[in-house]
Amino acid sequence: MNTYEEQTDKDTAMEMVLQAPREIPVRGEYDVIVCGGGLGGTAAAVAAGRTGARTLLIERNSFLGGVATAGMCCSIFNCYYTSEGQLGTTGIAVEVADKLAESMGYGRKWHKHKGHIIYDIERGKQVLQDLVVDAGAELLLQACVAGAVVSDGALDGVVVETKSGPQAIRAKVVVDATGDSDVAARAGARVRVIEKGVHSLCFRLGNVDVDMFVDYFREHPEQFPEYMDVDWTLPEALAQYDECGTFLFPHGGGMQMDAFKQAKANGDLPSSIGIQDTTDACQMHALRQTGIVHVITGFTHFNGLDPELISRSITDGRHMAFTVADVYRKYLPGFADAFVAGTAANLGVRTSRCLDGDVVFTADMMQAGVRQPDAVGRAVGWDHLVKHPGPKAWGVQACREAPFDLPYGCLLPREVDGLLMGAGRSISTNNPSLLRVMVHTMVVGQGAGTAAAVAAKTGATPRQVDLGVVQNELRRQGVDLD
């Protein structure tokens, strides 16, 4: 056992090490740096690269996609189309969905259906990587943002931790697409922490007879929860499966299904496992081609920046995955020989920290047809309605009749120039859940990446950039702002 003097000497030595100045080499200089390679960051890097800016995309994982790959949420909610059947979201967000669907062999057929665009995450990693590289942007993987380089109130670059140690990288404009506003917080921008978010650890089951699972609902249609997640009926869900080979079982669906009720009554499915609760939510994304079913069930509720609770949520989530898999094998048709084929590399954090800026994005701005003079994107919003008649039924996201505009001002921090927000849940907003879905975060990313590139190329700051030029470039990249 150490003596007090020995421990004091060790503490002093550790303090000296922590305070010792380090020479941080400068790795390079870019027009635009995008931090975070989720769907928002991917869209930002593609947009900046296509605008002609020298662009670097930094990602902590060894692949791109964020929640869409590392989080194992292999499903893009189809809020591309309005309730009137018009394509209301355009640009890179549509291109990503088309390419993911093409990689699965069903291509543009998803445009005919209301359901989610479901894909294999391994193919997704390759699709997103190719999009970025083909746009002329560079990739720096397995690198974490550890600091910000700020001079005279402007962000000049970032510090990243790599296997070679810390490195500084300079940029004319930085896009923070981390989702957690990591760059903004380190740069001294005013941010708001969400003290209690909702989070989940996804997992996937392999060797599933997906046809048998889907046929069960053909034979027992009363067991399928219609009008939950997607505003559709079972025949519409089956039509998408027959044509595309993908099937969505909705959030909260397990609570409505006799099999899960029986599993709970028998004690096989506990209501909670550690800090994971709602184990019978059971959203499923099924792929006939691979025999894989991705599962989102079980939720934890805490500050999404808390490292201890993140760790516990993940460890309890892995335990939950195997418990739920046992229930599926015992109670669900098609799952008799299923096994846990993987748990997510990253916890699915829905909200954590967002910008506190001059322009605050609100729910009113998402209403159908709302236009903004500084629009840098356009997307379709939805109403959350409860339409399923079952007890404790979860809601449906019913798309509105016209798209709304994304105002440029909500991407700008107050105190720090040279920085733009590039992920939907981290913009300046009074509700980070408003734009957190994949389609919306790609719209935000494309707007931020395009504005960053135009600013860098013209020598302007993000606050000074000519929005007319930005909007024309977005139109050139396929965004309908007219």
- Note whether residue 16 is domain-resident: no
State pLDDT tens for residues 313-366. 999 999 999 999 999 999 999 999 999 999 999 999 999 999 999 899 999 999
In this prediction, what percent of the chain has a pLDDT beyond 70? Answer: 95
State pLDDT tens for residues 262-294. 999 999 999 999 999 999 999 999 999 999 999
The pLDDT value given to residue 16: 39
Mean pLDDT of 126-150: 97
Lowest-pLDDT range, 9-18, 225-234, 312-321, 336-345?
A: 9-18
Mean pLDDT of 244-273: 97
State pLDDT tens for residues 45-91. 999 999 999 999 999 999 999 999 999 999 999 999 999 999 999 99
The residue among 378, 401, 242, 270 whose CA lies nearest residue 326 is 270
The pLDDT value given to residue 22: 63
- Note whether residue 3 is domain-resident: no
CA distance 396 to 228: 4
Domain stops at, among 332, 349, 366: 349
- Note whether residue 5 is domain-resident: no
Mean pLDDT of 169-185: 98
pLDDT reading at 8 higher than 80:
no
pLDDT reading at 32 higher than 60:
yes
Structural domain including 247 reads 198-349
- Same-domain pairing of 66 and 119: yes
Name which residue leads in pLDDT, 324 or 17: 324
Amino acid letter, residue 105: G
The pLDDT value given to residue 250: 98
Here the CATH number for the domain that contains residue 54 is 3.50.50.60
- Same-domain pairing of 261 and 369: no
- Same-domain pairing of 327 and 213: yes
- Same-domain pairing of 33 and 72: yes
The average confidence (pLDDT) of the chain is 95
- Same-domain pairing of 464 and 330: no
- Same-domain pairing of 269 and 411: no
- Note whether residue 7 is domain-resident: no
- Same-domain pairing of 52 and 108: yes
In this prediction, what percent of the chain has a pLDDT beyond 90? Answer: 94
Mean pLDDT of 427-454: 97
- Same-domain pairing of 181 and 207: no
This prediction has a pTM of: 0.95
- Same-domain pairing of 268 and 374: no
The pLDDT value given to residue 4: 35
- Note whether residue 399 is domain-resident: no
- Same-domain pairing of 376 and 470: yes
- Note whether residue 15 is domain-resident: no
CA distance 267 to 100: 39
- 23 — pLDDT class (breaks 50, 70, 90): confident
- Note whether residue 20 is domain-resident: no
Domain stops at, among 334, 349, 364: 349
Structural domains counted in the chain:
2
- Same-domain pairing of 61 and 33: yes
- Same-domain pairing of 278 and 214: yes
CA distance 42 to 455: 19
- Note whether residue 13 is domain-resident: no
